[in-house]
Amino acid sequence: MENIVITGATGFLGSHLARWFLDRGDRVYALVRPGSAKLQDLPVHENLIPVYGTMEEAADCVKEIGHADAWFHFAWGGVNREEIDSPEVQAKNIRGSLACVEAAHRLGCRVFMDAGSRVEYGVVSAGAPGGGAAEGDAGLLAGEGRGVMTEEMECRPVNEYGKAKLEFFRQAAPICEMYGMNFCHLRFFSVYGYGDHPWSIISTLVRELPRGGRVALSACRHEWNFMYIDDAVEAVGCLYEQVKEKEPEKGVAVNIASRDTRVLKSFVEEIFEIAGRRGTLEFGTFVQAKEGALSIRPDVSRMEAMTGGFKERYTFRRGITEMIKREMEHEDEEN
């Protein structure tokens, strides 16, 4: 049995990762804010132990936990539209995240992993030198960026959230190396599944189409990548299993994404088919946020190499079918 600390364990990714470790017999310490409205989202298990405190108070958990093998930092504030571009809110996230690194060191963790984001890359053009962002290209800002996103490329995030995620990686990497902790900065792309934010495009389509609803959408001409939640946490778990056995190395970013990248409209139309062609798709009626219309094309070769050859178990069709089934079951329970 290993001791695993997870921040953000009440969230979509964190709660599923907690279940992954609990299912294999580990003890999970979930660092949660006192009075959190999402405490009911924590997995119910005898080996799930809530530890109350904020990110900034992470050091206070050391005495209560005593020792841990790994720390998974999936908490991050200010991801709503009002605060995602707030320098003050995002700077606070960096400070709290660095406090988690210090606490992980004091607990004796061998591994530290955190949830990065695809938005760290910014606008990526196939024609820019080294696959980097092309500046001043109005076409790209309309969704024409088609470059492959690799972990080695220069990142040019658009919003303060992406800038803060990248800055934390840059600051945490040498600290973890100094402390002898293997550090993986997990750049999640677009993870979907039951329990995701209800306003996400997948959740909205899965909820509304089977009921015959109308869904407002962008033109959906940009490329996208979706990974089912069970595959995402399995990839993280496999990565941990490989990394924990290695001698401490310099921290690395790792893209967590699927091999299925295509035009977003193709994904949307597939959901429409799975839902029995019910409902109405209203393309071109929804205005995207400034980052929303950018294409994403992740390179997952590093993830596959570092996990010992991880392969997804869920096709997009299988994942959506599972989501619709659970959505219908939930609706029946409410009725």
Q: Is 98 within the bounds of a domain?
A: yes
- Tally Cβ neighbours within 10 Å of residue 327: 16
Please list the ranges in the chain whose pLDDT falls under 70: 126-146, 288-293, 332-335
Query: One-letter amino acid identity for 105?
Result: H
Residue 334 has what pLDDT?
64
Residue pair 188/13 in contact (Cβ under 8 Å)? The answer is yes
Residue pair 97/114 in contact (Cβ under 8 Å)? The answer is yes
Q: Is 53 within the bounds of a domain?
A: yes
Instruction: For residue 276, give every residue at least 6 positions away whose Cβ sits within 8 Å of its Cβ, in sequence order, or none.
Output: 210
Q: Is 186 helix (H, G, I), strand (E, B) or coil?
A: strand
- Torsion angle of C-alpha atoms 20, 149, 174, 247, degrees rounded to 10: 50
179-202 residue pLDDT tens: 999 999 999 999 999 999 999 999
Instruction: For residue 173, give every residue at least 6 positions away whose Cβ sits within 8 Å of its Cβ, in sequence order, or none.
Output: 183, 185, 250, 251
- Tally Cβ neighbours within 10 Å of residue 279: 18
Q: What is the CA angle 96-100-102, rounded to 5?
A: 115
CA separation for the pair 117, 135 (Å, rounded): 21
**pTM, full prediction:** 0.91
Q: Is 324 within the bounds of a domain?
A: no
Residue pair 207/153 in contact (Cβ under 8 Å)? The answer is no
Three-state SS string over 220-233 comes to: CCCEEECEEHHHHH
- Give the H or E element holding residue 6: strand 3-7
Q: CATH number of the domain that 90 lies in?
A: 3.40.50.720
Matching residue, tokens 């599944």:
193
Q: Is 204 within the bounds of a domain?
A: no
Instruction: For residue 330, give every residue at least 6 positions away whose Cβ sits within 8 Å of its Cβ, in sequence order, or none.
Output: none
Q: Is 323 within the bounds of a domain?
A: no
Range of the domain at 145: 1-131+140-196+224-258+290-313
107-127 residue pLDDT tens: 999 999 999 999 999 988 754
Q: How far is CA 220 from CA 94, 119, 208, 308, 317, in A?
A: 33, 18, 18, 34, 18
Q: Is 24 within the bounds of a domain?
A: yes
Residue 287 has what pLDDT?
72
Q: Is 104 within the bounds of a domain?
A: yes
Q: What is the number of domains present in the chain?
A: 1
Both tokens of residue 98? 């660095």
- Torsion angle of C-alpha atoms 231, 235, 240, 246, degrees rounded to 10: 160
Matching residue, tokens 């700077």:
91
Residue 145 has what pLDDT?
46
Q: Is 173 within the bounds of a domain?
A: yes
Q: How far is CA 230 from CA 18, 63, 89, 108, in A?
A: 12, 33, 30, 28
Residue 255 has what pLDDT?
99
